[in-house]
Amino acid sequence: MSNPITPSSAEPVVTATDPIPVPVNRIPTPATTPPDILRCAYMEIVVTDLAASRKFYVDVLDLVVTEEDETTVYLRSFEEFIHHNLVLRQGPVAAVAAFSYRVRSPEDLDRAVAFYTELGCRVERRAEGYVKGIGDSVRVEDPLGFPYEFFYDVEHVERLAWRYDLYTPGALVRLDHFNQVTPDVPRAVAYMEDLGFRVTEDIQDEAGTTYAAWMRRKPTVHDTAMTGGDGPRMHHVAFATHEKHNIIAICDKLGALRMSDVIERGPGRHGVSNAFYLYIRDPDGHRIEIYTQDYYTGDPDNPVVTWDVHDNQRRDWWGNAVVPSWYTDASLVLDLDGEPKPVVSRTDDSELEVTIGADGFSYTRKGDEAQGFKLGNTL
């Protein structure tokens, strides 16, 4: 006899390896060994009003100022020991100047140069680094059009993990991940796997269209994710808190400051990653995620989780709707000359359209589509 309250076991699907179809337009795999990437380390963003952005990141989000001058602010999280996790640089166009990864050794910078040169990418190396606190580094315009940076040498600063006298209720303790918007997710994933990343979760439909994929180097759900959409653009950068209540405290503080309009989505719990989340927008519209409590992924046989794009719980475990701006808005990225990269449209199906548009509503229980998506008729 079946138990009427037994949840469906149909979703999501767990497999041993990445189930994303290999694209016909695959970027060729370089013969050279890729750099050994440790983790996402910092993002450099251009802001149009440095004072307004400093107020947002320092006075509201309580990131720690490591160093600053008239044009640039270097910020870090409470548990960080390297110089910074976020660089705010005054400039004319709000955009992202670098997605920066730390590599295991100085020799990995030579590997990065060889890897991207073989891919035919623009590659620049500066022995003195591109920003304060970072030494010898390599910047590239990667095959997807993103400004990627790799470095090993870095200035160490005080890790404030034990400085509870400085903590605030919403303290941000680590940089967790980047999220990038790109038109062709399978093409992006194949290149990122060549670079040494592993897929942990993804969203597909029954026809095999891939809408998003999460990939990691460090043993968490991701260091970066590829979100299908017009790109190259930056979807968000995420900082971790210790606990869920820290995220609630940030919401309460934003309300008390009459800044609730910067809350775009959440708080809530993700299906993908199982993490608790909040999305907010900075004064230029750059999206920041506050994120906590995903799971360990470091074993070599870590299972890959594939979500159905029509599963109403994939992006919010409680079934709350994803606001349209979350799908459509993202930040421009810059080339190595500091010029915005042209944005190419996605031609595969759009997640926004297939879940709340004309192609049909999502479901909460597979096979029970008649009950539909609880908010489907109100959107």
Q: How far is the CB of 214 from Fe ion (least distance, A)?
A: 8
Evaluate whether 210 touches 124 at the Cβ level (below 8 Å). no
Q: Which residue has the tokens 């955009």?
A: 95
SS3 110: helix
Q: Which stretch binds Fe ion (CB under 5 A): 40-48, 240-248, 284-292, 359-367?
A: 284-292
Evaluate whether 210 touches 189 at the Cβ level (below 8 Å). yes
E strand map for 260-366: 263-269, 276-281, 287-292, 304-308, 331-333
Evaluate whether 139 touches 148 at the Cβ level (below 8 Å). yes
Distance separating alpha carbons of residues 159 and 192, to the nearest angstrom: 31
Q: How far is the CB of 245 from Fe ion (least distance, A)?
A: 20
Is the CB of 115 or the CB of 291 nearer to Fe ion?
291
Residue 267: partners with Cβ closer than 8 Å, 6 or more residues away? 244, 247, 248, 251, 276, 277, 278
Q: CB-based burial of residue 72 (10 Å sphere; 0-12 exposed, 13-18 middle, 19+ buried)?
A: middle
202: tokens are 């993804």
Provide the mask over 160-189, with x wherever binding to Fe ion is found by CB under 5 A and - wherever it is not. -------------------x----------
Q: How far is the CB of 306 from Fe ion (least distance, A)?
A: 18
CB 216: neighbour CB atoms within 10 A? 23
Q: Which stretch binds Fe ion (CB under 5 A): 59-67, 121-129, 232-240, 350-358?
A: 232-240
Q: Which stretch binds Fe ion (CB under 5 A): 18-26, 27-35, 237-245, 250-258?
A: 237-245
CB 291: neighbour CB atoms within 10 A? 27
Distance separating alpha carbons of residues 246 and 238, to the nearest angstrom: 14
The count of residues in the chain is: 379
Q: How far is the CB of 312 from Fe ion (least distance, A)?
A: 19
SS3 157: coil
Scanning residues 86 to 115, which ones bind Fe ion (CB under 5 A)?
Answer: none
Q: CB-based burial of residue 273 (10 Å sphere; 0-12 exposed, 13-18 middle, 19+ buried)?
A: buried
Is the CB of 139 or the CB of 286 nearer to Fe ion?
286
User: How many residues interact with Fe ion (rule CB under 5 A)?
Assistant: 3
Is the CB of 171 or the CB of 238 nearer to Fe ion?
238
Taking CB under 5 A as the rule, does residue 201 contact Fe ion?
Answer: no
Taking CB under 5 A as the rule, does residue 238 contact Fe ion?
Answer: yes
Query: Looking at 62, 184, 223, 289, which residue binds Fe ion (CB under 5 A)?
Result: 289
Q: Which stretch binds Fe ion (CB under 5 A): 12-20, 92-100, 203-211, 236-244?
A: 236-244
Q: Which stretch binds Fe ion (CB under 5 A): 120-128, 230-238, 313-321, 371-379?
A: 230-238
Q: Which stretch binds Fe ion (CB under 5 A): 11-19, 163-171, 233-241, 336-344?
A: 233-241
Q: How far is the CB of 225 from Fe ion (least distance, A)?
A: 6
Cβ density class 3-41: b for 16+ within 10 Å, e for less: eeeeeeeebbeeeeebebeebeeebeebebebbbbbbbb
Is the CB of 108 or the CB of 289 nearer to Fe ion?
289
Is the CB of 142 or the CB of 289 nearer to Fe ion?
289
Q: How far is the CB of 235 from Fe ion (least distance, A)?
A: 8
Scanning residues 110 to 129, which ones bind Fe ion (CB under 5 A)?
Answer: none
Q: How far is the CB of 159 from Fe ion (least distance, A)?
A: 24
Q: Which stretch binds Fe ion (CB under 5 A): 17-25, 194-202, 234-242, 353-361?
A: 234-242
Evaluate whether 330 touches 264 at the Cβ level (below 8 Å). no
Q: How far is the CB of 223 from Fe ion (least distance, A)?
A: 11
Q: How far is the CB of 139 from Fe ion (least distance, A)?
A: 24
Is the CB of 179 or the CB of 312 nearer to Fe ion?
179
Residues in contact with Fe ion by CB under 5 A are: 179, 238, 289
